[in-house]
Amino acid sequence: MPDERSQSVPLYYDDIVPDGNAQRQPLVLCLDTSMSMADAPITMLNKALQEWVRDLSTDINLAHSVEVALITFGGRKVSTWRGTTELADAADPSAFVAAHSFSAPHLRAGGVTLMTDALRTAIRLVAARKTALREAGHLYYRPQICLITDGQPTTPEGHLTDDWRHVVPLLAEQQEKKKFRLFAIGVGGITPRGEEVLRAIAPKYYARLQGFPFRQVLQMMSASAGAQDKGDGEKIYEKIFARFTTQRSAWNG
For the stretch 128-152, pLDDT in tens is 999 999 999 999 999 999 999 999 9
Q: Report domain 22-251's class.
A: alpha beta
User: What is the pLDDT at residue 16?
Assistant: 32
User: What is the pLDDT at residue 14?
Assistant: 33
Pick from 165, 188, 217, 163: nearest CA to 35: 188
Low-confidence ranges of the chain (pLDDT < 50): 1-19, 249-253
Angle between helices 115-135 and 168-176 (to 10 degrees): 30
β 66-74/25-32 pair status: parallel
Domain boundaries, given as residue ranges, for the chain: 22-251
